[in-house]
C-alpha cells in the first residue's frame, strides 16, 4: 500500500486511493499543459518570448505585452483549456457508464442535441442576441440526454440500450441540422457551419466567467462520484449486489456528462473527438480507475484543444482555421483504429 495515496472528501462523503505513478503522470500532463499555454500566449502576429509571457503572468511585464497577453490572447487560451477539460471529462464519464472505449457524447447524440439547439437558434432567430446561444446549446444537450434516458428506459437503463438509442439520436440530430441549414439563407449557413466545425475564435473574458465556475463544479462533482463509476464498470449485477443505487447513479452521471458537454459547446461549438481521444489516452497511461483517469483526461483534453488551437492560429496565418478541423483530422483515424482494435468484442 506504500504506492498508494489515500484521499478523502468529508468523513463519509467520498474516499479513494491514487497510485503514486498516477500522480506523477498527472503532474507531467499538468506541466505540459502549462508549457503549451505559455507558448501559445506568446504566438501571434506579434511574437512574445515565453520568459516575457511569464513576466506578464507574474505582473511585471511591459504595458504592451500585458495588453496583448491579458486582453487579446489569454481569454482564448483559458477557454481552450476549459473546453478541452469539460469535453474530456464528459467522455470519461460516458465511457465509464457505458463500459465501452468507443462511447463519447458526440457519438451518442448529446453533442448532436446541443447542435440542434444552437443551429436552430442561429438560423431561426437571426435577430436575437447572440448571448442567448450558450444557454440554448446547454439546454439542447440536457434535453437530449433526458430524451436518451427516457427512450432507453425499460425497467431500468442498460449500457447497450443507451448506445443503440444514442446512435439513433445522433443520426436524427444530424438530419435535423442538415434540413435547417438547407432551408436557410447563405450568410446564416456560414455562421451555422462555423459553429458545427468548432471554433473558439472571438471569445472574451465574459465567456470565461460564464463557463469557468460550471466546469470546475461539474468536474469536482464527477470526481466525488468516482467510486460509483468504478463500481458500475464491474457490471450491473455486481454493482447492484454491493448496494449501489445503480439507476440513480447512472442518471446522475449522465446528467453531469450532458452539463459538461453543454458548457463546452456553448462557447466552443461542436468540437469533435476530444471526448473520445482524451479518456482513452488517459486509461492507456494509468489504467481504468476513474478516480485517476478523470483529472488526467481533463488535462489531456485541455492539451489537445490547446495544441489544435495553436496550429489553427499559426499554420495558415492570417487565416484562423476552426479548432474542430484539427481535432477531427486526428480523431477520425483514431476512431477507426479503435473500431478495428475492438472488432471482436
Which residues of the chain are under the pLDDT cut of 50?
A: 13
The percentage of residues in the chain with a pLDDT greater than 90, rounded to a whole number, is 27
pLDDT of 3:
61
Helix residue spans in the chain (DSSP H): 20-41, 50-57, 63-66, 74-98, 110-124, 133-152, 159-182, 186-197, 205-224, 226-232, 236-241, 246-268, 274-286, 290-314, 323-341
Q: CA 171, CA 20: separation in Å to the nearest integer?
A: 42
Q: Which residue has the cell 459538461?
A: 260
The pTM (predicted TM-score) of the whole model is 0.88
pLDDT of 28:
95
CB atoms within 10 A of CB 55: 17
Please provide the DSSP assignment of 39-71 as one string. HHHT-SSS---HHHHHHHHTT-S-HHHHIIIII
Q: CA 148, CA 203: separation in Å to the nearest integer?
A: 31
Environment class of 151 (CB within 10 Å of its CB; exposed 0-12, middle 13-18, buried 19+)? middle
pLDDT of 88:
95
Strand partners, 5: 18
Residue 75 and residue 135 in contact, taking contact as beta carbons nearer than 8 Å? no
Q: CA 127, CA 280: separation in Å to the nearest integer?
A: 42
pLDDT of 215:
92
Residue 273 and residue 182 in contact, taking contact as beta carbons nearer than 8 Å? no
CB atoms within 10 A of CB 291: 21
Amino acid at each position: 500500500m506504500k504506492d498508494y495515496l489515500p484521499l478523502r472528501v468529508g468523513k463519509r462523503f467520498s474516499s479513494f486511493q491514487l497510485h503514486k505513478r498516477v500522480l506523477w503522470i498527472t503532474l507531467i500532463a499538468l506541466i505540459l499543459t502549462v508549457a503549451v499555454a505559455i507558448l501559445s500566449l506568446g504566438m501571434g502576429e506579434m511574437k512574445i518570448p515565453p520568459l516575457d509571457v511569464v513576466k506578464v503572468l507574474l505582473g511585471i511585464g511591459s504595458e504592451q505585452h500585458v495588453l496583448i497577453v491579458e486582453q487579446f490572447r489569454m481569454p482564448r487560451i483559458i477557454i481552450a483549456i476549459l473546453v478541452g477539460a469539460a469535453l474530456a471529462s464528459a467522455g470519461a464519464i460516458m465511457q465509464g457508464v457505458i463500459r465501452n472505449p468507443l462511447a463519447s457524447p458526440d457519438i451518442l447524440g448529446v453533442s448532436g442535441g446541443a447542435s440542434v439547439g444552437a443551429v436552430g437558434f442561429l438560423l431561426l432567430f437571426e435577430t436575437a442576441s447572440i448571448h442567448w446561444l450558450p444557454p440554448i446549446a446547454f439546454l439542447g444537450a440536457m434535453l437530449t440526454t433526458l430524451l436518451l434516458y427516457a427512450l432507453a428506459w425499460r425497467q431500468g437503463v442498460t449500457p447497450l440500450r443507451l448506445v443503440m438509442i444514442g446512435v439513433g439520436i445522433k443520426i436524427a440530430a444530424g438530419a435535423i441540422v442538415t434540413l435547417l441549414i438547407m432551408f436557410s439563407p447563405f450568410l446564416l449557413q456560414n455562421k451555422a457551419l462555423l459553429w458545427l466545425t468548432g471554433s473558439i475564435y472571438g471569445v472574451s473574458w465574459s465567456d470565461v466567467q460564464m463557463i469557468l465556475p460550471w466546469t470546475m463544479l461539474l468536474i469536482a462533482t464527477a470526481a466525488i462520484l468516482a467510486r460509483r463509476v468504478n463500481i458500475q464498470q464491474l457490471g450491473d449485477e455486481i454493482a447492484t449486489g454491493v448496494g449501489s443505487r445503480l439507476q440513480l447513479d447512472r442518471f446522475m452521471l449522465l446528467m453531469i456528462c450532458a452539463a459538461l458537454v453543454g458548457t463546452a459547446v456553448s462557447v466552443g461549438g461542436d468540437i469533435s473527438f476530444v471526448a473520445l481521444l482524451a479518456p482513452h489516452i488517459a486509461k492507456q497511461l494509468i489504467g481504468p480507475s476513474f478516480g485517476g483517469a478523470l483529472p488526467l483526461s481533463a488535462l489531456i483534453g485541455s492539451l489537445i484543444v490547446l495544441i489544435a488551437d495553436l496550429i489553427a492560429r499559426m499554420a495558415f496565418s492570417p487565416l484562423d482555421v476552426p479548432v474542430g478541423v484539427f481535432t477531427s483530422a486526428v480523431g477520425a483515424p483514431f476512431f477507426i483504429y479503435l473500431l478495428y482494435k475492438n472488432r471482436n468484442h
